[in-house]
Amino acid sequence: MRAVRGVSQDRPPVWIMRQAGRYLPEYQEIKRQHSFVEMCTTPEIAVEVSLQPYRRFGFDAVIVFYDILFVPEAMGAPLQFTEKGPVFLRPLREAREIEKLHSPDLEATDPQRGTGAVLESLKALRANVPSKDAVLGFAGAPFTLAAYLVEGNFQRSGERVRRMMNEEPDVLHALLERLTVATVDYLLLQVEAGADAVQLFDTWAGLLSVDDFRDFALPYQQRIFSAVRATGAPTILYVNGSPHLLASLAESGATGLSVDWRQPLADVRRLLGSGIVLQGNLDPLKLFSPPAKVREMTQSLLDSMAGDSRYVFNLGHGIHRETPVESVEALVATVQAWNKTANRSG
């Protein structure tokens, strides 16, 4: 929280996207007895799983365990998590299907109707995590949620959603509009429940050209950030594959950007100036290198951001499910030992 407010500290804080997950043996243990959906929607389990990486590594933030896709599910889109990832059973391709979506009853605990479980989990986390560490909430951004809803089973190219963008732009805008209204209410409830800051995941908006991004993603992000800003809670925006979008992302109104691994973070800082918070951006696949190499790459990223008071250490995307635990240990220990006044390699 100090870093997002630009308060100078000896080292940047560190957390990693998807920090709770399959790379952890203690997560696997719970996963053997419960489905992913059960884990997310049973606050007692979700809280335990959220705390596992925090306890093991000493991260500076806890992100609540849940998924971005539960919001559209609560709006009436049947969802299944399979071995190959999430699937919406009835992809939305026509105006009349989109009109059938309803507003979620966000506080309801039944996942087919609402998101009450994550609000409960946030309350419990904020009550149990020491106040020096942050509790983070999150949501999917309208474009990324729409991409899943339209594709059903999302593939990397996003062809169907981009086709709809051109064939029936008004239909897509109608869907984005409904998702925006729900997401605003959802994030306000998360802040009320105890989230110190919230991250908006627009993972797939990086597929868009700058012009399409400015039509179909940016205006909705702006509405969401402007609504959350009124609560005083800082906001972070993540878009994967975003080098061409950086200048536009800076117009989103987010307090900070979570930057993917494709560009040197120090270059992003030079491009965007010192006012915006930056988070990132080690390539998650770098964690498959030997621990000594992980330490070296972590150190060099830290050195490249030395003296930057608006910096949060993270990966450039979620951690891979088969990542060696020793790599995460090496990463976190390197950040924790780093000190702005110590000798540096760079």
- Residues of this chain that bind ligand CP3 (CB under 6 A): 17-22, 31, 36, 63, 65-69, 81, 85-86, 138, 201, 203, 318, 321
Q: How far is the CB of 254 from ligand CP3 (least distance, A)?
A: 15
Q: How far is the CB of 109 from ligand CP3 (least distance, A)?
A: 19
Q: Which is nearer to ligand CP3, 32 or 132 (CB)?
A: 32
Q: How far is the CB of 340 from ligand CP3 (least distance, A)?
A: 27
Q: How far is the CB of 202 from ligand CP3 (least distance, A)?
A: 9
The verdict on whether omega for the bond into residue 153 sits within 30 degrees of 0, i.e. cis, is: no
Q: Which is nearer to ligand CP3, 270 or 321 (CB)?
A: 321
At 171, list the tokens: 């239909």
Q: Which is nearer to ligand CP3, 14 or 295 (CB)?
A: 14
Q: Which is nearer to ligand CP3, 148 or 225 (CB)?
A: 148
Q: Which is nearer to ligand CP3, 65 or 338 (CB)?
A: 65
Q: Which is nearer to ligand CP3, 36 or 261 (CB)?
A: 36
Q: Which is nearer to ligand CP3, 90 or 270 (CB)?
A: 90
Q: How far is the CB of 226 from ligand CP3 (least distance, A)?
A: 22
Contact 11, 336 (CB under 8 A): yes
Q: How far is the CB of 167 from ligand CP3 (least distance, A)?
A: 24
Long-range contact set of residues 21-27: C-beta below 8 Å, sequence gap at least 24: 21/318, 21/319, 21/321, 22/321, 22/322, 23/319, 23/320, 23/321, 23/322, 23/323, 23/324, 23/325, 23/328, 24/52, 24/53, 24/56, 24/325, 25/325, 26/52, 26/56, 27/52
306: number of CA atoms within 13 Å, CB side?
13
Q: How far is the CB of 10 from ligand CP3 (least distance, A)?
A: 26
Q: Which is nearer to ligand CP3, 153 or 263 (CB)?
A: 153
Q: Which is nearer to ligand CP3, 63 or 218 (CB)?
A: 63
Q: How far is the CB of 182 from ligand CP3 (least distance, A)?
A: 16
Q: How far is the CB of 20 from ligand CP3 (least distance, A)?
A: 5
Q: In whole angstroms, what is the distance from residue 139 CA to residue 241 CA?
A: 19
Q: In whole angstroms, what is the distance from residue 42 CA to residue 27 CA?
A: 15
Q: In whole angstroms, what is the distance from residue 342 CA to residue 331 CA?
A: 18
**Exposed, middle or buried by CB within 10 Å (0-12, 13-18, 19+), for 233?**
buried
